[in-house]
Amino acid sequence: MSDETGPEAIPRLSAANTAAILVAAAQAPLGSTLIAVALPSIGTGTGTDLVLITGLLVTGYLVVNVICQGPAGKISDVVGHARVLWAGMGFYLVGAVCGVVAQGAALLFLSRCCMAAGGACLVPATLALLRLHVPHARRGRVFGLFAATMGVAAAGGPALGGEIVSTFGWRAVFLANLPFLGLSAVLLFLRPLPVRAGTRRDSLRTLATGLDYGGIGLLGLALALLVLASKLSGALLVATLIGALLIGIGFLYWEIRATDPILDARLFRRPAFAAGTLIIALQNFAMYGLLFQVPQFFSVFRDAAPREIGYLLFVMMIGMVVAGPIGGQLTDRIGAQRAAQAGAVLLLAGMAQLWALGGFDGPSAAFPALLVFGLGLGLGNAPAQSASMGAVDPHEAGMAASVSATMRYLGAIASIVVLGVVLGNDETVSIARHVVMVWLFTAAITLSALMTLRLPGRFHLEGRGA
């Protein structure tokens, strides 16, 4: 059946299919934050410097994940999104085994690379499946659940990781994804995903020779310089940032001219796709920044216990859980623009409360701010994601999903880099620098609020097919 045969020809996802997709997609953000609290134990257990182990297992994970997004999206458009979904789960299994048996940093890094590749397969494949097999009348609601699931996974990772390390030791962190992936696999086995006719079945050799290796190399080099900049200062910092910027511009120029780009920058010519994708990236910049900044601030300046900080992040997670489905329903009823603007208002309200961060005497003082911020994230992410994916044609779903996921993780990487530059790598950082970060996050949220003006006033599809 072709995309032009009408909505009635589109195979629908069952409830089990949707649950399996959401659980699988959540493993990518869960994997990126779950390991954070285990890093000191991993460093001690392997005799590796904490700064090195953090760079390899956290920043390295995000960089590899971003680099692999484009190839994964392109391959999923060719061989089928369900196959790439299964491949992603396989990569996670290999990564878990490597992590459990690792005795040093090298195998641990390989483990995280496998998991990053798995996450890069899972997110574009799941987004594309939702785009293709959910009718537009319900797409906002489903993307609301998707946003809530991804947010909960990212915010809940540190708390879950802390409990696992305390109970079973750091090696168990590498097994944490497997029960969730097992649940997803069982659901997919009992209720296989629907298959759209007309999917090309090109050979792996054809895929391998057709990949945009130049684009992959330029993107990887730009990200490597960006991450390196967070460890530098003075003239070297400025020079490295300029180098990363120039190579990034070169990457965009390459992709625009490429016959078969790994990340199709031309998708940004569509206003709804560009706006929705940039909104997600900017809001992810603020969310990931707070996930890493808040524990550091309260542990260093207020001597807060890890459990207190965990509860604080849990409050933000609750906000996303509650508001995510509501944001999806509002998208279906009043349109993406108004729903996203409502989320932006809450996000700005939460950030405004954090301007007084220096006066907070403990984690409990930040509860209202992070609750409101979490509600804003849940409310605003669904309309942005729904509008961006609804703006592309069905045959572009995998590529669009990979571009969207890449921007999501670029926002996360950028926040970690900016935190490193502003807060520095020493223990004498001032409260004033933390407040500067809050203002930077506020600026990002303000820019995302302006981007909502480019979203459709009422939900509609710019692409062909439902």
For 436-465, how does the pLDDT look when each residue is reduced to its tens digit (9 = 90+)? Answer: 999 999 999 999 999 999 998 764 444 444
Quote the Cα angle for 380-17-278, to 5°.
25
Confidence band for 56, pLDDT divided at 50, 70 and 90: confident
Same domain, residue pair 161 and 218 = no
d(CA 267, CA 396): 9
d(CA 253, CA 164): 45
Confidence band for 425, pLDDT divided at 50, 70 and 90: low
Same domain, residue pair 57 and 167 = yes
pLDDT above 60 for 2: no
All residues at 6 or more sequence positions from 437 whose CB lies less than 8 Å from its CB, including other chains: 289, 293, 418, 419, 422, 423
Which has the minimum average pLDDT: 10-14, 297-301, 440-444, 447-451? 10-14
Nearest to 228 by CA among 242, 241, 215, 216: 241
Mean pLDDT of 64-90: 86
Same domain, residue pair 128 and 38 = yes
Same domain, residue pair 312 and 253 = no
Nearest to 400 by CA among 278, 282, 273, 252: 273
Assigned domain for 72 exists: yes
pLDDT at 261: 84
Nearest to 346 by CA among 381, 313, 311, 312: 381
Same domain, residue pair 218 and 243 = yes
Same domain, residue pair 279 and 234 = no
Measured in residues, the chain has a length of 466
Residue 384's domain comprises 11-191+262-454
Assigned domain for 196 exists: no
Mean pLDDT of 45-68: 81
pLDDT at 462: 42
The answer to whether 366 and 92 are in contact (CB under 8 A) is no
Same domain, residue pair 257 and 274 = no
Mean pLDDT of 359-382: 92
pLDDT at 114: 94
Mean pLDDT of 72-80: 81
Number of structural domains the chain divides into: 2
d(CA 319, CA 315): 6
> What is the percent of the chain with per-residue pLDDT over 90, rounded to a whole number?
27
Same domain, residue pair 256 and 175 = no
Which has the minimum average pLDDT: 37-51, 270-284, 402-416? 37-51
Confidence band for 324, pLDDT divided at 50, 70 and 90: confident
Which has the minimum average pLDDT: 4-18, 179-193, 350-364? 4-18
Assigned domain for 461 exists: no
Same domain, residue pair 359 and 411 = yes
The answer to whether 323 and 379 are in contact (CB under 8 A) is yes
Assigned domain for 22 exists: yes
pLDDT at 461: 41
Task: Select the highest-mean-pLDDT range: 38-52, 292-306, 342-356, 450-464.
Answer: 342-356
Assigned domain for 66 exists: yes
All residues at 6 or more sequence positions from 356 whose CB lies less than 8 Å from its CB, including other chains: none
Same domain, residue pair 184 and 109 = yes
The answer to whether 353 and 369 are in contact (CB under 8 A) is yes
pLDDT above 90 for 339: yes
pLDDT at 205: 60
pLDDT at 274: 94
The model carries a pTM of: 0.80
Confidence band for 309, pLDDT divided at 50, 70 and 90: confident
Confidence band for 8, pLDDT divided at 50, 70 and 90: very low
Burial 366-387 (b: 16+ CB within 10 A, else e): bbebbbbbbbbbbbbbbbbbbb
Mean pLDDT of 155-172: 82
Higher pLDDT, 368 or 203: 368
Assigned domain for 320 exists: yes
Assigned domain for 124 exists: yes
Assigned domain for 206 exists: no
pLDDT at 229: 80
Nearest to 248 by CA among 128, 413, 419: 413
Same domain, residue pair 234 and 308 = no
> Which CATH number belongs to the domain containing residue 295 in this structure?
1.20.1250.20
> What is the percent of the chain with per-residue pLDDT over 70, rounded to a whole number?
91
Which of 261, 276, 296 represents a domain boundary (last residue)? Answer: 261
pLDDT at 206: 58
User: Within 13 Å and on the Cβ side, how many CA atoms surround 149?
Assistant: 22
pLDDT at 79: 80
pLDDT above 90 for 283: yes
Mean pLDDT of 157-174: 84
Mean pLDDT of 88-117: 91
Confidence band for 15, pLDDT divided at 50, 70 and 90: confident
pLDDT at 345: 97
Same domain, residue pair 180 and 56 = yes
Confidence band for 373, pLDDT divided at 50, 70 and 90: very high
SS (H, E, C) the chain: CCHHHCHHHCCCCCHHHHHHHHHHHCHHHHHHHHCHHHHHHHHHHHCCCHHHHHHHHHHHHHHHHHHHHHHHHHHHHHHCHHHHHHHHHHHHHHHHHHHHHCCCHHHHHHHHHHHHHHHHHHHHHHHHHHHHHCCHHHHHHHHHHHHHHHHHHHHHHHHHHHHHHHHHCHHHHHHCHHHHHHHHHHHHHHCCCCCCCCCCCCCHHHHHHHCCHHHHHHHHHHHHHHHHHCCCCHHHHHHHHHHHHHHHHHHHHHHHHCCCCCCCHHHHHCHHHHHHHHHHHHHHHHHHHHHHHHHHHHHHHCCCCHHHHHHHHHHHHHHHHHHHHHHHHHHHHHCHHHHHHHHHHHHHHHHHHHCCHHHCCCHHHHHHHHHHHHHHHHHHHHHHHHHHHHCCCHHHHHHHHHHHHHHHHHHHHHHHHHHHHHHCCCCCCCHHHHHHHHHHHHHHHHHHHHHHHHCCCCCCCCCCCC
Mean pLDDT of 208-219: 79
d(CA 28, CA 40): 22
Confidence band for 400, pLDDT divided at 50, 70 and 90: confident
Mean pLDDT of 342-359: 95
Query: Which residue do the tokens 């390196």 mark?
Result: 228
Average pLDDT, the chain: 84
